[in-house]
């Protein structure tokens, strides 16, 4: 378990008054409310919280809680390289890193993730309970169980995101599934090729480009580029990851290439994004 402790932090804190916490800005942070009530503020927007609510916090420091009833928080923090460094699991790193990028690109950090369905809340609660249980264990299976449970939580998050696929909800179901697949495999070039997509979704290879453009009103290449740039924008705004690292992970040649693409497509550079997060 020493290895897993280097890659993930699981913390339970009971507070009657919120205090700023010092943490690395490059961490992903999930928070589950074990008990208590109050108001959560993220990027200066507020909403109430209560027992069993679940959030993904932004990387910026602009979040706080106004606690009206003593609250027990369960925090889970892990770096973006978490799945890459796991030693004893069969988790596909590329699949989960793609999913993390999708979450970064389409998660609304201003409003958070809200569950209306009690069944959804119950499922997420069970997953967090597994993490809590395994946190105290030293068995050889704990790392695998924690990793797979965390992967399941990320699956729940990604399934709840509206994302770009909602823009095509009036299209045929097959096309919506194609968009969802692209979004969740955005850094896996092999799963984004016309050959792969046409075979997976049973669309003629010769016809696929025309089919995609007719439904998306842009080419497959343009859509993939736009999606990667949306992810890049949020990673620049909400993390302190170096521009070069963001560029490489999304398939750009280097930071200069990413900057030129941002300037061309959205009219703004990375330096402006980091200085003025509210612009985009």
**pTM exceeds cut of 0.95:** no
Q: Where do the domains of the chain lie, and which CATH numbers do they carry?
A: 2-160 (2.60.120.280), 164-279 (1.10.10.60)
DSSP three-state, residue 54: strand
CA distances in angstroms from 95 to 21, 154, 189, listed in the order given: 31, 11, 11
Contact partners, residue 180, CB within 8 Å, separation at least 6 = 163, 165
Contact partners, residue 71, CB within 8 Å, separation at least 6 = 14, 15, 16, 33, 35, 36, 37, 38, 49, 65
Give the residue from 77, 205, 95, 255 showing the smallest Cα distance to 150. 77
Encode the chain (280 residues) as per-residue pLDDT tens digits: 444 555 677 888 899 988 776 555 455 778 888 899 999 877 667 888 888 888 777 555 557 788 999 999 888 887 766 766 666 666 677 777 777 788 877 777 666 666 667 777 788 888 888 888 887 777 777 778 888 888 888 887 777 775 555 555 656 788 988 998 898 888 888 999 999 999 999 999 999 999 999 999 999 999 999 999 988 988 888 777 789 988 988 989 999 999 999 999 888 888 888 876 544 4
């Amino acid at each position: 378990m020493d290895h897993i402790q280097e890659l993930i932090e699981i913390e339970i804190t009971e507070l009657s008054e919120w205090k700023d916490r010092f943490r690395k800005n490059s961490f992903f942070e999930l928070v589950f409310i074990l008990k208590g009530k109050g108001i959560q503020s993220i990027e200066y927007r507020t909403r109430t919280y209560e027992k069993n609510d679940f959030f993904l916090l932004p990387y910026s420091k602009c979040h706080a809680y106004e606690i009206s009833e003593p609250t027990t928080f369960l925090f889970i923090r892990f770096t973006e390289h978490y799945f890459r460094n796991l030693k004893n699991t069969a988790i596909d790193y590329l699949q989960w890193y793609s999913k993390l990028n999708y979450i970064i690109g389409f998660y609304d950090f201003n409003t958070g993730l809200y569950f209306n369905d009690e069944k959804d809340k119950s499922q997420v609660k069970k997953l967090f309970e597994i993490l809590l249980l395994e946190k105290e264990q030293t068995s050889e299976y704990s790392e695998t169980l924690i990793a797979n449970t965390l992967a399941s939580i990320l699956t729940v998050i990604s399934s709840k995101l509206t994302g770009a696929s909602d823009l095509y909800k009036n299209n045929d179901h097959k096309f919506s599934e194609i968009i969802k697949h692209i979004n969740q495999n955005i850094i896996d070039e092999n799963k984004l090729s016309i050959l792969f997509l046409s075979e997976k979704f049973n669309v003629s290879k010769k016809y696929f480009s025309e089919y995609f453009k007719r439904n998306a009103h842009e080419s497959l290449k343009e859509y993939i580029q736009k999606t990667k740039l949306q992810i890049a924008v949020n990673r620049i705004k909400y993390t302190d990851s170096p521009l070069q690292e963001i560029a490489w992970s999304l398939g750009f040649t280097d930071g200069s290439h990413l900057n030129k693409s941002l300037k061309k497509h959205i009219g703004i550079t990375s330096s402006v994004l980091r200085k003025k997060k509210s612009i985009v």
